[in-house]
Amino acid sequence: EVAVEKHHHVARAQGADTDFDAVFDEYLSGYWKANPSAAATPAGVHTYDGLMEDFAPPAIQAEIQRNRAFLVRFQRLEAVAMPLGRRVDLAIALDHVQLTLLELEEIQSWKRNPRFYVFLLRGAVLALVKREFAPAERRFRSVLLRLKLFPRVLEQARSNLDNPPELYTRQALDLVPRAAEF
C-alpha cells in the first residue's frame, strides 16, 4: 500500500514537472519576445536579435497583463506536489514575475528614468558585438536592424518620460555622448 502511494506521489510529481515546464517555457517565450535586447540576446536566445523592446503604452499594458496571467498560473502550481528542485524553480519563476510587475507597474523606469533608455540602446548593440556566438556579418546585420529601430525607441522615450528627476536627466545626458561614440 505504501509502495502504491509512493508511486502515485511520484506520478503526480512527474506530471507537475511537465506542467511546470510547459508553463515556464510559455512564460519564457513571451519574456524573450518582449525583451529581445535586454534579456533574450544576453541570455543566448538569438531568435529576436534584430528586434527592440516596445515601450508604447499598449505594449506595456499587454506585458503587464501577460505577467499577471502567468503569476496566477504559477501560483496554481504551488499547490501541486513536485520535487524540491522544481519547487525552487517555481519560486524563482514567481519572484521573477513579481519583480517584473513591480518594475512595470510601480517603479516604472520606462516612465521616470531617461537613463533606462540610454542603457537599453547601448546594451542592444553591446549584446550583439561582445560575444562571438555567430559570424560577425550575421551579428552586425542584427545590429543594423536594431539601429534602425532606435528612432522608434527614442520617440517612445520622449512620449513616456513624465517629468523625470533632474539628476536622472543630467546623468542620462552625460551618458549619451559615450553611448553614441560606442
**pLDDT string in tens for the chain (182-residue length):** 444 444 344 444 444 444 899 999 999 999 999 999 999 999 999 999 999 999 999 999 999 999 999 999 999 999 999 999 999 999 999 999 999 999 999 999 999 999 999 999 999 999 999 999 999 999 999 999 999 999 999 999 999 999 999 999 999 999 888 878 87
Asked if residue 54 lies in contact with residue 120, where contact means CB atoms within 8 angstroms, the answer is no
Place of cell 541570455: 43
Residue 160's identity, in one-letter code, is: N
Looking at the chain, how many residues does it have?
182
- The pTM score is 0.85
Structure-block grid coordinates of residue 38:
535586454
Report the alpha-carbon distance of residue 93 to residue 120 in Å, rounded: 23
Q: What is the pLDDT of residue 179?
A: 79
Residue 181's identity, in one-letter code, is: E
Q: Where are the alpha helices (DSSP H) in the chain?
A: 2-34, 41-43, 57-77, 84-101, 109-112, 114-129, 136-160, 166-181
Report the alpha-carbon distance of residue 8 to residue 11 in Å, rounded: 5
Nearest to residue 51, comparing CAs of 143, 117, 146? 146
Report the alpha-carbon distance of residue 169 to residue 114 in Å, rounded: 6
